[in-house]
Amino acid sequence: MIGPDVAGIAEKLGAAADGATAIAQLAAETGLDVDAAYAVQTALVQRRLNRGERLVGLKMGLTSKAKMAQVGVDEVIWGRLTDSMRVPDGGTVEHADFIHPRVEPEVAFLLDRLPEPGEPLGAFTDAVRAVAPAIELIDSRYADFTFSLPDVVADNTSAAAFVVGPWSPVPDGLDNLGVLLEIDGRVAQVGSTAAILGDPRRALDEGIRLAGRHGVRLRSGWLFLAGAATAAVPLRPGSHVRAVVERLGSCSLKASS
């Protein structure tokens, strides 16, 4: 049996992102299962690396019930981050570069020493050098921001851009810090880091395990986004977004009008 056209699907998704034009979902039609979808994701990210981008870390998706409920997919997923997706704290994104961008508050980890294959993950503080508040800008390449599990995995889990705020040493309790997303000075979402798999540290265990299944090992110096604690909010042209995580501080981005 001939499998799905991994390279062709990656090209379609890459062109949709480059041209900021939505496409129809394709997993059902092409018989794409989750494993093949991760192969598409690898090819899609390789397309970015081929034009000079650098892999700078991983991101988790759907690690909170709020996110799962918003998109109707209830499996934890992971994707890749490249340097060109990073926006400086306080920076501006070009709204027209995206299809239907949404923003969500995140917690970022800066990875330090990582376990060897087979070695159990030691103390979290051994693996993570620092933590920071972050904003992820997601932009599904599918029409109406609607997708199945293999569709969103193939689309690099809607990754489009991200901002990382100031780094802090790992605080004693990361498991119940208040999280706020403000749009133009008004609170748009409120949550807690407890919503991220009960404790965002679990997102790292899951990331190591799930990415490991596809032969991807996390590296020292990489960034790691633990997944949003709240639902995402549409990013309108001209708006100013700020994410606050208790004890970690805040970061922000603007959208061009």
Binding residues for Mg ion (CB under 5 A): 136, 228
Nearest to 161 by CA among 247, 53, 27: 53
User: Which does residue 62 touch among Mg ion, ligand OOG, none (CB within 5 to 8 A, set by kind)?
Assistant: ligand OOG
Q: Which amino acid is at 255?
A: A
Q: How many residues are listed for the chain in this entry?
A: 257
CB closer to ligand OOG out of 1 and 68: 68
Nearest to 113 by CA among 122, 105, 104: 122
157 binds, among Mg ion, ligand OOG, none (CB under 5 to 8 A by kind): ligand OOG
Smallest gap from residue 184 Cβ to ligand OOG (A): 22
- To Mg ion, the closest distance from the beta carbon of 233 in angstroms equals 12
Q: Is 133 in the site for ligand OOG (CB under 6 A)?
A: no
Residue from 61, 105, 150, 191 that binds ligand OOG (CB under 6 A)? 61
Task: Report the distance separating Cα 248 and Cα 180, nearest Å.
Answer: 12
- Residue 143 CB burial class (10 angstroms; 0-12, 13-18, ≥19): middle
User: How distant, in Å, are the alpha carbons of 18, 47, 133, 138, 214 from that of 98?
Assistant: 9, 18, 23, 9, 29
| E strand map for the chain | 55-61, 77-82, 92-93, 102-111, 128-138, 159-164, 178-183, 186-192, 223-225, 233-234, 240-245, 249-255
Nearest approach, Cβ of residue 192 and ligand OOG (Å): 15
For ligand OOG, the binding residue among 17, 99, 227, 242 (CB under 6 A) is 227
Question: Rounded to 5 degrees, what are φ and ψ at 3?
Answer: -80, 180
Q: Which of 138, 160, 197, 243 binds ligand OOG (CB under 6 A)?
A: 138
Of the candidates 89, 136, 182, 199, which one interacts with ligand OOG according to CB under 6 A?
Answer: 136
Q: How far apart are CA 230 and CA 167, in angstroms?
A: 21
Q: Angle at which helices 6-19 and 34-50 pack, to 10 degrees?
A: 60
Question: For Mg ion, which is the closer residue by CB, 136 or 182?
Answer: 136
Q: Which of residues 90-109 bind ligand OOG (CB under 6 A)?
A: 104
Which of the residues 161 through 220 are near ligand OOG (CB under 6 A)?
Answer: none
Judged by CB under 6 A, the residue of 17, 228, 233, 244 near ligand OOG is: 228
Residue that has been written with the tokens 């992971």 in this structure:
78
- The pattern of x and - marking residues 19 through 38 that bind ligand OOG according to CB under 6 A reads --------------------
List 71, 127, 149, 181, residue binding ligand OOG (CB under 6 A): 71
140 vs 252, beta carbon nearer ligand OOG: 140
Residues that bind ligand OOG (CB under 6 A): 59, 61-62, 67, 71, 104, 136, 138, 140, 152, 157-158, 227-228
